[in-house]
């Protein structure tokens, strides 16, 4: 049975439970009733019906050595792996229904997932499960509880101490390079020539791997080298740019960091990746003096488009512009369009300065003690500082759409990371003087 609307999944699971409770379904002693439920669930899993939530309780309650429950776990996992989206949602709803009234809950949810992991022998399945739970947690009542229980287990299973750092280059397996092309989330890799250039001898690419998912990069970073802090990403990723020697390299530029597994969202190991990479680079290239990013500002356009003139007028350097914006409820949207047009032409200095000031203000705004912008939240939370705003640094359609072509350099100074994190915790993110004076 396929359920097209995920909101019907719980209702279908409840109906399956009601059907199981009809006369004749549970006659005999408690052990025989349990055996009957397990047998019926096995038959349902082999056909095209939803499993009985009552029988699924064994996945929560039976010991991890219980043979019947473990067989059901294998059957459920096999069916889940083969299922399409609608059926997966329905199967998750059945799990929710099976455990919704278990009291005290204690570690029953953790036991469920340990059993599924042990019987499927696939850590990837657990990551897929959480990705699906994140997708449907607002559609299936109670699913968020299971999602949080699985997230806690994944945090332990993906402890940074278990991860392996690997250097990826053109000699790496083609299957791995294909994954980088697919997972690149910041600057699209458009061809194999583009891929070859990004892992050339004057570049570096590093990724974290888990020993139970050894062919899947969990997160990777791409690094370029320069004699100065880079200000234009198209120049960095140009596939026909000549390969240079590294003898004059003084700056390492992290220009792309991509998480690959949605199911590991919120399980942070990106900060450990950068720390490890900096250590690796210093060992290999001791002449390096500085480490910086060339980063997008993905939330800027959305933020600016929602601002009123009252909110932004003080940020505009020109008096006439301030007066015009002050009483304009749509001033933010007007400035967003203006900046996008200016980025594609010869922008007047006043417009460029206004755009940079607005971006600097946005990057330092906090909500709940954390930066509004997701990329700023990552780098400032890792102890970097905002060093420089760059006008027209990303001329791609995506760059113009999300930040009017502007990008930001975050600088990592290893001996200042702890101090910068403390400043952020105090509500005062570290910002260079050049940005303060915009």
**DSSP state letters, 159-196:** -GGG-EEEE--TTS-HHHHHHHHHH--SS---SHHHHH
**What's the pLDDT score for residue 44?**
52
379 included as an active-site residue: yes
- Note the pLDDT of residue 25: 37
pLDDT < 50 stretches in the chain: 1-28
Question: DSSP letters of 368-388?
Answer: TTEESSHHHHHHHHTT-EEEE
Catalytic residue among 77, 256, 379, 403: 379
Cα–chain-centroid distance for residue 26? 46
| Residue 301: per-residue pLDDT | 98
Residue 309 contacts by C-beta under 8 Å, 6 or more apart in sequence?
Answer: 324, 325, 326, 327, 328, 329, 330, 331, 332
What pTM value is reported for the model?
Answer: 0.84
pLDDT for the residue 374 = 94
Out of 77, 256, 295, 354, pick the active-site residue. 295
pLDDT of residue 320: 87
pLDDT in tens, 395-405: 999 999 999 99
The domains of the chain, with CATH numbers, are 6-157 (1.20.140.90), 161-293 (3.40.630.150), 300-436 (3.40.630.150)
Nearest Cα residue to 273 out of 311, 236, 223: 223
Q: Is 49 a catalytic residue?
A: no
pLDDT at 53: 86
**pLDDT of the residue at 182:** 97
């Amino acid at each position: 049975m396929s359920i097209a609307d995920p909101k019907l999944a719980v209702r279908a699971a409840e109906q399956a439970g009601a059907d199981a409770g009809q006369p004749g379904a549970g006659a005999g002693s408690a052990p025989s009733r349990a055996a009957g439920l397990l047998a019926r669930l096995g038959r349902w899993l082999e056909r095209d019906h939803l499993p009985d939530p009552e029988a699924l309780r064994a996945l929560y309650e039976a010991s991890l050595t219980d043979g019947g429950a473990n067989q059901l776990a294998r059957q459920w996992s096999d069916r889940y792996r083969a299922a399409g989206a609608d059926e997966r949602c329905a199967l998750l709803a059945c799990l929710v229904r099976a455990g919704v009234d278990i009291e005290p809950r204690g570690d029953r949810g953790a036991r469920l997932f340990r059993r599924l992991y042990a019987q499927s022998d696939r850590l990837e399945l657990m990551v897929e499960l959480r990705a699906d739970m994140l997708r449907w947690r607002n559609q299936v009542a109670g699913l968020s509880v299971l999602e949080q229980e699985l997230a806690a287990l994944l945090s332990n299973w993906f402890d940074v101490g278990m991860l392996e750092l690997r250097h990826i280059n053109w000699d790496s397996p083609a299957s791995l390079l294909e994954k980088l092309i697919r997972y690149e989330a910041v600057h699209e890799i458009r061809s194999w020539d583009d891929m070859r250039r990004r892992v050339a001898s004057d570049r570096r690419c590093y990724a974290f791997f888990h020993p139970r998912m050894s062919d899947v990069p969990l997160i990777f970073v791409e690094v370029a080298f320069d004699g100065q802090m880079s200000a234009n990403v198209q120049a960095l990723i140009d596939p026909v740019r000549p390969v240079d020697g590294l003898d004059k390299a003084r700056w390492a530029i992290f220009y792309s960091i991509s998480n690959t597994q949605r199911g590991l969202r919120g399980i942070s190991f990106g900060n450990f990746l950068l720390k490890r990479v900096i250590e690796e680079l210093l060992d290999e290239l001791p002449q390096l003096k500085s480490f910086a990013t060339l980063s997008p500002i993905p939330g800027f356009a959305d933020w600016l488009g929602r601002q009123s003139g009252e909110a932004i007028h003080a940020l505009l350097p020109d008096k006439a512009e301030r007066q015009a914006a002050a009483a304009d409820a749509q001033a933010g949207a007007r400035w967003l369009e203006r900046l996008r047009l200016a980025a594609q032409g010869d922008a007047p200095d006043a417009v460029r300065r206004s755009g940079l000031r607005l971006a600097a203000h946005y990057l330092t705004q906090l909500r709940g003690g954390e930066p509004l912008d997701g990329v700023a939240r990552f780098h400032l939370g890792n102890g970097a500082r905002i060093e420089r705003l760059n006008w027209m640094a990303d001329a791609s359609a995506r760059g113009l759409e999300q930040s009017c072509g502007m990008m930001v350099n975050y600088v990592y100074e290893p001996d200042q990371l702890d101090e910068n994190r403390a400043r952020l915790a105090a509500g005062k993110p570290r910002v260079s003087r050049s940005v303060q004076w915009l």
